[in-house]
Structure 1
Amino acid sequence: MIWVGFETLLRNVEIRRIKTGDLKWQNDTSCYLLDVMRTKTSLSSNLTFQLSPQCSQHVRRLIETVEYTDTETFGHRFLFQPVNIHTNRYFPSTSSKLSRGKSIDRMLVKAGFSEGLLTQLQNESKVSREDVGMLSSNSLNQAFARLWGIAGKVGDSNRQSGRYRTWTGHSVRVGGAIELFKAGYSLEKITEMGNWSDPKMVFRYIRGYLASEKSHGKLYA
């Protein structure tokens, strides 16, 4: 999850929404092409990413390890799911261990939305809700936090408001933006690649790197 998110700058929910059918193996490059719908507020776009050979091999190994097979439901299963610790496999799609999704419809009705408006919203929606079987945001963040611990990192107890003391789903976007800037990409290009609405947001992520390198002038070079 971390590797895919780092290479694509996908948001937490976008990582969790990836399905096996979104991946297309390319024999000539030994890489996966990943098709995603990126959406936040009024911004939406269909993007295709070519994962690196190294990342692609790990994704392929994951698929083989959990014994995903080319069946009717293969392309409709979420790529990242809870693992059965006894079998080292994903739970079957009918398992009660999987998320039951978020009952957004029920919440909207309780909030006063009419059935007619609810139907219209459903018909116009281009992005699926957090469906049954979709990994929860909390589960993704827990996985990232565990890897932080495995890597021997120490939480920053001085962080304001106690937020982001370990890696989270957002960390891959921040880290990816920093690495792209270090590689010479402009703020505008990084903003486009990460589907941000304003380059100022990207600058907020890279300003720590700029301060440490004393290279504020590179922004305007």
Structure 2
Amino acid sequence: MVESDAFIFGPVYQTNCATAVSLKPLSTRALEDIFARAWREVGPGHDALPNKNRYRGCSGHSTRVGAAVDMATKKYSTAQIMQEGTRKKPETVMRYIRHVDAHAGAMVDFMDKYAQS
């Protein structure tokens, strides 16, 4: 198996033993359960306040959004972020990273330069 075929999560058996190499990914249901348990463990003890009925907790999708934000913060291009996240539309990535450079926008720069004048 090559690294590009490796899986981040592998099965853990009832004996609490994990496999070092897995030839197939965990099921969607198993991954959802991992994130639900993690949210219960580290979350605020209750669902987060809804934002348009989104963001009530942590999910596998949260990691995709977080990775896009991390890459944008480190100044990777939209094309690179799209490739790593297997995204087809730049609009999707832009929606994820819309707040990354909010403090560095053109109007902020303009106001910083000319507000003192």
Alignment TM class, shorter chain as reference? 0.5 to 0.7
Aligned residues of 1:177 and 1:190 also touching (Cα < 8 A): yes
Distance change >3 Å, CA 209–CA 156, structure 1 → 2: farther
Structure 2 Cα separation of the partners of residues 149 and 215 of structure 1: 35
Matching of residue 196 in structure 1 with residue 81 in structure 2: no
Normalised by the length of structure 1, the TM-score is 0.38
1:29-178 equivalent positions in 2, closer than 5 A: 34-36=3-5, 80-84=10-14, 87-89=15-17, 135-153=26-44, 155-161=47-53, 163-178=54-69
Structure 1 Cα separation of the partners of residues 84 and 57 of structure 2: 25
Q: Which runs of 5+ in 1 are unaligned?
A: 1-20, 23-33, 37-48, 50-58, 60-78, 92-132
Higher strand share: 1
CA displacement at 1:90 relative to structure 2:
5.1
Aligned residues: 100
Distance change >3 Å, CA 209–CA 83, structure 1 → 2: farther
Moved over 6 A (4+): none
Normalised by the length of structure 2, the TM-score is 0.66
Structure 2 Cα separation of the partners of residues 81 and 164 of structure 1: 27
For residue 47 of structure 2, what is the amino acid of its counterpart?
G
Q: Which runs of 5+ in 2 are unaligned?
A: 107-117
1:206 alignment partner, one of 65, 88, 97: 97
**Percent of aligned positions with the same letter in both sequences?**
31
For residue 165 of structure 1, what is the amino acid of its counterpart?
R
Bigger relative CO (Cα 8 Å, ≥ 6 apart): 1
Structure 2 Cα separation of the partners of residues 144 and 204 of structure 1: 22
CA displacement at 1:182 relative to structure 2:
0.5
